[in-house]
A and B are shown apart, each in its own frame.
Chain A
Amino acid sequence: MFTLKNGRLPPADVKNIIFFVRPRLELMDIIADNITSEDRHHSSRDFHILFVPRRSMLCEQRLKEQGVLGSFINIDEYILDLIPYDGDLLSMEYESAFRECYLENDQTSLYHTAKGLMTLQALYGTIPQIYGKGECARLVANMMLRMKREFAGSQNQILPVFDTLLLLDRNVDLLTPLATQLTYEGLIDEIYGISNGYVKLPPEKFAQKKQGEGSKDLPTEPKKLQLNSAEELYAEIRDKNFNAVGAALSKKAKIISAAFEERHNAKTVGEIKQFVSQLPHMQAARSSLANHTSIAELIKDITSAYIIQCFPIKSHYVNTYIEDCIAQKDPLIKILRLVCMQSVCNNGLKHKVMDYYKREILQTYGYEHILTLNNLEKAGLLKPQTGSRNNYPTIRKTLKLWMEDANEQNPNDISYVYSGYSPLSIRLTQILARPGWRSIEEVLKMLPGPHFEERQQLPSGLHKKRQQGENRTSLVFFLGGVTYAEIAALRFLSQVEDSGMEYVIATTKLINGTTWIKSLMDRPESPTQ
């Protein structure tokens, strides 16, 4: 297994070479390059190509243009739509889904979503109730129902695991990803970027301090850590507000030291044996504690200027703040996040303000960003104020989005994930479970896209006989991406005792503000940055 890169293929005495790729054009060019440089050396190798998750006409055309299409013995697809990411998390890892749906009007990702959901239903039973909000959600639901009709006659005989499916469009809640996530995992992602479950960290803090040797040679390679719930400590702290992580870590530290101290109490051989048997587990716990303490320290060092929070302040101050940020040449993405946030919260920017921002951004970061600004406008993140009333305050109040006193240490509301702001998407999910969307019809109408409810007939005999107190399970699918903080909020809801609902999360892509805005930019790596 090798990573795809330009030039010659790594030498190996093999007959068959299989390319396992996403259907993206730039990858086709690399493959073509691989094959053409290969041909000169050996001609006896067989090439195969597998597209994940679907073949693409354009890619095959590109291969044909490059004159290598004929070199492939097999061209096929590997249908892998939903990739299990964690115990309760599925992702399609489809980066461009949001851009394609809202900017390019390309609904292929929705088709893949529907296919993925059909597969999921084949494995875990037909989901009897489907709720949704937003244009894309509607389309996905329609496709699912149609696919089901096409398989009419093939009744699924599996007892359904999920009771409901909730499809949510990202553009129903554009605000949430713009703010900085304040959970532990969210912050790691915001600052260092979690990719495929791994994070790369600067190595200084992780240098092994061995006695005698001193720390002369610091490692220069970034430290790579795997992050998932398999690690006991991480599972415990990942969804906590960062302000509560310190306390949790010190508590854990005490427990571990106490456990190590117990060796002094071990008197009999049996006791010592028991202690020794626990040692590996304790060692692991200790090294995991050390790692997370280092990460927490690293995050703490990042100044608070980095954090974009969502709070009610007068727009006058916001204007000045953004202006100052531009003058300081803060990263463009941060500026864009701030500007978009102001636009979303106020149902658009005043014409004068918008022109001013545009001018400042273009002057400071380069004129080629006209294209980016244009894209943001098309995606609805940036818009001029129109005559219509700003209904964001109503939404905010009805859904209780801004909580004055968020308890970060012992949260009692989902707003803890953003230290006082509750993600709209999660509030919708919460209200759907109880008391139901009927209570907020007015607000739902203000949000973009239709909301709907569909039922799928289950074959008789598969209706769940629910026991008293048994939790219902809901699959929440975020079309266009979800942030770690939102996931944390849903996990919080699952844990709340009286919610009666457990959530499994699925999405097209795990995002944060930076990656999200980047996906909307044209040529984010332009030379001027």
Chain B
Amino acid sequence: MTSREEQAGFRPGRGCSDQIFTLRRLMEERIRCGRRTVIIFIDFKSAFDCIDRPALWRALAAEHIPVKIIELLQTAYDGSTSQMIKSKVDEEDYWHSSKFKAFTFDDEDDELSRLKESRQAVNNIRRLVEEDDDEDDVERVSWSGEPVGSISWSVKETAASSQRADREPAFPKISTDTPSISRSQSGYSLSSLFKGKPKVGNFQTFSDALTDSSVRLYAPELRKPKSEYKDYVSDWSPEETVQRLQQGKAVSLERFRTLQDKLLLLDLAIAAHDGNVITAVLIYLKRTLCKEVLFRELESRQTALRHFIHYLSETQNQRLLLELHRALGRAEDAALLQYKEHLSITDENKRRDFLKNCLSLPFSAEDLAHVQDHYTLLERQIIIEVTDRQAERGGKVEIFQKFPRKALILNMPLITTLYYCCFYHYTEPEGTFSSPLNIRQNFKISEKQYFVTALAARAKLKAWLDVDALFASRNWLGFTRKKSPLSFQRVVDILQKNSAPTHVLQDYVALVDDGELRLTLAQKHKCHDIVISTYRDMKDRQLLLGYRGKVVRGSAEERKIDDLLSNPQIRWKN
């Protein structure tokens, strides 16, 4: 009977450690290729004792073992009983000699045929390893170049300690390769990077080699996120774990079981400043820690906290996010965050209701006032929109026919709303929602803002009487005079932009205080009367003469200039 290569039991020089080594290599290869691996350990109870002996003799005969020897063996086994002798002397020998626990997948016995499947699977794996033998020994090198760890399954490695020592050179220590690479490629000059086409390709590989140690060069990337390798047991130190995470390599966080370990891991990740790593650790912590503990620990780690908040908001885990803010006493942040959500609500009624709910959130006092205003505004806009839409469809209100509305008023800023109301609802009594005065009152719009908006709206409609009325203010003697919270120069600007006729402009240009400015404005807007009277007041004959050429020939202005020029009562200064 020939034994297979896999068989280690009952063979000189081979033992349990070989099997362990094989298994470990298998697992490393699988992980390296990003494959899921299932390992089944089968311990056949007293496998060697229960073998059907007649079958064994037949097998021996089939292997052309001389009949004499088979018969000798048969007599030896006839009526035999076995007994175990405990021996401390040589464990290696114990494994080989004992019938007790050694196992092999190589038994041809019929009873085992139902396990064919698993056997086949194991053989396949074995083949895979043999194929890959060339690029052996890549992964088992840590950052510092020391061989990493030992195997921590139920089977201890002690039995093989002597052989292990022999094998160690098989794991090369890769640590000093880098300088040779950098020397060989150091022919770069500054100009090769800056001038002309950058040599991105080389740049890339080189930076790789330098920054990630040469291990990374051989190791193909993993296909699946790290979290899927729960079944992979390794024992990288927290530092190494963080480094591996930074390099995007497979790593299991599951082994960090105690709170202390987890926090150490988190702190190391924070120290690395790589958001990706911090997030990875946080995701693990989120899964394995209860909220209270997690929130408490995050509070003293602001960087991690920000990342966690970012992660939660990106994954739209609003509930946990709000809980977090509340737990940390950052109520205002929480409130703003919730408020932000309104941006993604398109239906105006839903948005309004949402804002209404927001009012009960713990905003800071001033923010609350703004949010309140926001809600009130939207509420109003909805009412105005409904009424105006009907008015427009009804076709009875003249202004909507003359100036059809271009856009919905919903979600417009307050000042735009005010403009809209000044345009369509100017004359309404103060009690209505759409009355400009009501809006001004309700939202405490500053005088200036109100003024500019109303002015622009009425000027657009060419309602010059309204414009005049805006400025009219009675003093206590009952005289009316024009007063404005903004400079008359700005007023003229606004009027002019809305193409006000000269006779309207004139009134306001005349009100500009600064003489020189008034003159330039008057000239620009062709307010001849003002120009002429200013020149008269300046007693500047020459300028007046010059201006005569600019007015229309034969017009009233020309006559006026002529009258002035011939007026003997004026003492011209030139």
Q: Using a CB–CB distance below 8 Å, which chain A residues touch chain B?
A: 25, 54-58, 60-62, 64, 69, 72-81, 83-84, 86-88, 100, 104-108, 110-111, 114-115, 118-119, 122-124, 139, 143, 147, 150-151, 153-158, 161, 323-324, 326-329, 355-356, 358-360, 362-368, 370-371, 374, 504, 522-523, 526-528
Contacts and interface: CB of A to CB of B under 8 A. Distances in A.
A104 B280 contact: no
Contact of B452 (A55, A139, A327): A327
B179 A157 contact: yes
B207 A122 contact: yes
Interface stretch (B69-77, B369-377, B393-401): B369-377
Given A368-B343, A371-B340, A60 B225 contact: yes
Given A157-B182, A370-B371, A522-B340, 15 more contacts: A57-B279, A58-B315, A69-B225, A73-B223, A75-B221, A78-B204, A105-B305, A119-B210, A122-B211, A123-B193, A326-B449, A327-B449, A329-B415, A355-B366, A363-B415
Nearest to B275: A108
Given A123-B188, A151-B178, A324 B211 contact: no
B273 A111 contact: yes
A527 B411 CA distance: 8
B412 A528 contact: yes
Contacts of B412: 366, 528
A528 B411 contact: yes
B303 A363 contact: no
Which residue among A106, A123, A124, A527 has the maximum number of chain B CB atoms within 10 Å of its CB? A123
B143 interface: yes
A87 B194 contact: yes
Which residue among B203, B373, B486 has the maximum number of chain A CB atoms within 10 Å of its CB? B203
B362 interface: no
B367 interface: yes
Contact of B303 (A76, A105, A115): A105
B183 interface: yes
Contacts of A364: 413-415, 449
B52 to A, nearest CB: 47
A155 B181 CA distance: 11
B448 interface: yes
| Chain B interface residue number, banded | 35 or more
A507 to B, nearest CB: 15
A153 B211 contact: no
A363 B414 contact: yes
Given A57-B283, A367-B374, A367-B377, A526 B275 contact: no
A153 B177 CA distance: 10
Given A57-B276, A122-B207, A158-B186, A363 B223 contact: no
B339 interface: yes
Contacts of B444: 359
Nearest to A87: B194
Nearest to B179: A154
Nearest to A109: B275
B312 to A, nearest CB: 11
Nearest to B373: A367
A122 B182 contact: yes
B306 A64 contact: no
Contacts of B373: 362-363, 367
B3 to A, nearest CB: 41
A464 to B, nearest CB: 14
Interface in B371-427: 371, 373-374, 377, 411-415
Given A75-B223, A364-B449, A106 B274 contact: no
A355 B251 CA distance: 52
Given A57-B279, A155-B179, A156-B182, A84 B274 contact: no
A88 B413 contact: no
B208 interface: yes
B252 to A, nearest CB: 15
B142 to A, nearest CB: 12
Nearest to B243: A150
28 contacts: A55-B276, A58-B311, A61-B315, A69-B224, A74-B223, A76-B221, A78-B204, A81-B207, A84-B198, A106-B275, A106-B303, A107-B275, A108-B274, A108-B275, A115-B211, A119-B206, A122-B210, A124-B188, A147-B211, A154-B182, A155-B179, A161-B190, A324-B486, A359-B444, A363-B373, A364-B414, A367-B373, A371-B336
B342 interface: yes
Contacts of B366: 355, 358
Contacts of A87: 194-195
B73 to A, nearest CB: 56
B207 A106 contact: no
B211 A119 contact: yes
Given A105-B303, A370-B367, A523-B343, A57 B208 contact: no
Nearest to A370: B370
A245 B195 CA distance: 26
B445 interface: yes
A110 B182 contact: no
B490 A324 contact: yes
Contacts of A523: 343
A466 B274 CA distance: 39
A123 B448 CA distance: 61
B248 A528 contact: no
Nearest to B419: A329
A139 to B, nearest CB: 6
Contacts of B273: 107-108, 110-111, 114, 139, 143
B223 A72 contact: yes
Nearest to B178: A154
A93 to B, nearest CB: 14
A64 B486 CA distance: 59
B306 A111 contact: no
A157 B303 contact: no
A73 B222 CA distance: 10
A54 B276 contact: yes
Nearest to B344: A523
A331 B253 CA distance: 50
Nearest to A113: B273
B176 interface: yes
Contacts of A104: 306, 310
Nearest to B226: A57
B314 interface: yes
Contact of A370 (B307, B314, B339, B415): B339
B274 to A, nearest CB: 5
Nearest to B190: A161
Nearest to A162: B190
B572 interface: no
Contacts of B302: 105
Contact of B371 (A153, A327, A367): A367
Which residue among A76, A104, A363, A374 has the maximum number of chain B CB atoms within 10 Å of its CB? A363
B567 interface: no
B248 A79 contact: no
B211 A79 contact: yes
Which residue among B190, B204, B283, B445 has the maximum number of chain A CB atoms within 10 Å of its CB? B190
A526 B412 CA distance: 11
Interface string B95-132: 00000000000000000000000000000000000000
B413 A365 contact: yes
Contacts of A367: 370-371, 373-374, 377, 413-414
B175 interface: yes
Interface string B201-227: 001101110110000000001111100
A327 B339 contact: no
B443 interface: yes
Contacts of B87: none
B272 interface: yes
B200 interface: yes
Interface in B326-354: 336, 339-340, 342-343
B445 A363 contact: yes
Given A57-B276, A327-B452, A363-B445, A122 B206 contact: yes
A107 B303 contact: yes
Contacts of B182: 122, 154, 156-158
B475 interface: no
